[in-house]
Amino acid sequence: MNEYDSELVRSLLKREGFVFTEDRERADVILMNTCAIRENAHNKVYSHLADLKAIKKQRPLVVGVLGCMAQNLKEELTEHQPLVDVLAGPDAYRQLPMLLTSAIQSQEQGLDRKGLAVDLSEYETYDDVVPERNDGVNAWVAVMRGCDNFCSFCVVPYTRGRERSRDPDGIIREAQQIAAQGFKQVTLLGQNVNSYRHGSWDFARLLTAVADVSGIERVRFTSPHPKDFPTALLEAVAGHPHVCKHIHLPMQSGSDRILGLMNRSYTNREYRALVNRIRSLRSDIVLTTDIISGFCSETDAEFAETYRLTEEIRFHNAFIFKYSERKHTIAARKFPDDIAEPVKAERVTKLVDLQRRISHEHNRSYIGTTVAVLVEGSSKRSDSQSTGKTDGNITVVWDNSLIQSQPGDFVPVPILDASASTLFAHRRPQGQEILF
């Protein structure tokens, strides 16, 4: 969502005559679009700010912090970070051109006026703003913004406000433009994307309509909540040839008591039943998940339930994190963050080891098959290799000498080797294992 929001900001600023440079040394304005969901993201922002201090000492520079951190930590950032000139929350990007212009003028006059826009809106969906897209293969399209679920660990309802969905006509028009620009894949975005509702349109109808747009070969969506999976949506995923056979289904915990404290609104049994429904419709749908380990008061026995459910479901991949308390959340206000760091770390390690083994087993089952891959470009490790994704969102790497391809091509790739995270069209040297 942040990448998408950066594309919106780019578009809004270009409209007003701002131009962009990749060279930080030439920039008059540096903006950081931030995430408040995990501590690591926070720390990165503070370290970037420390870097910018040196530049700002030498010449005029306007520094802006955008996004969820600006929204959630406005007092801290305005009071303790003199470096920051402009703060704009996720619903306030239309005000940015004005805030930046005023900050530049203020610096020219030797003043230190801060620009602050952090009001949340019940209506803002940026429906009329066409994002300035950089990626040539995948186009992000936000279909709804905000979240009403108030999971107790999550800051999103406070930083991005209440749920509101975009008009489906605008979304479909945007998908048609995206196809005309040559993008092959659309990823529909929302904090709780499958709770999309606009008049008589629900998410299943919207997903099908976007997948029907001529030229769009693949449609993905993220991030859904397990409570919003009616049969029509499962059938759209299982049956529509352009909807990717991949569902990211955040589990968070396998313990009913912890799920209750997290306010996740499903039980271990209901989650398992949903997984069974998905797999009975189509056994090759790739399932991935999010898990939080060491949530407030989680006992060893409750962690063991999470471990068992992870082992039983055998996700293809999982994003596993230690619980980190976020300011202003229900959990921060009501439950002490009382699991010791070493215990959290040990639980995460156990889960990661388990998941790595399962992911590797899943990936090894592709050896000897040929998978259809949407080419993304050069692999991170070598320009002589290319990379892309399967329909199920699994990364594939191959030597350019074996298969010649351009970003945006669909190519069949025979799989000869696999790590826990990647499928390969060549055999890797013994002992070379690429992990998550």
Positions in the binding site for ligand SF4 (CB under 6 A): 147, 149-151, 154, 156-157, 191-192, 225
Which residue number, 30 or 37, has a Cβ lying nearer to ligand SF4? 37
At its nearest, how many Å lie between ligand SF4 and the CB of residue 146? 9
In the complex, what is the shortest distance from the CB of residue 264 to ligand SF4, in angstroms, rounded to a whole number? 7
**Smallest distance from ligand SF4 to CB 271, Å:** 14
Q: Which residue number, 147 or 188, has a Cβ lying nearer to ligand SF4?
A: 147
CB of 274 to ligand SF4, least distance (A): 15
Smaller CB separation from ligand SF4, 151 or 320: 151
- Which one, 35 or 219, has the nearer CB to ligand SF4? 35
- Exposure b/e, 269-298, CB count within 10 A at least 16 = b: eebbebbeebeeeeeebbbbbebbbbbbeb
The nearest distance, CB 308 to ligand SF4, in angstroms, is 23
Which residues, other chains included, contact 273 with Cβ-Cβ below 8 Å and sequence gap of 6+? none
- Pick between residue 154 and residue 210 the one whose CB is nearest to ligand SF4: 154
CA separation for the pair 57, 428 (Å, rounded): 49
Least separation in angstroms between residue 1's CB and ligand SF4 is: 10
Q: Rank residues 334 and 427 by Cβ distance to ligand SF4 and give the closer one.
A: 334
Tokens of 156: 């999103």
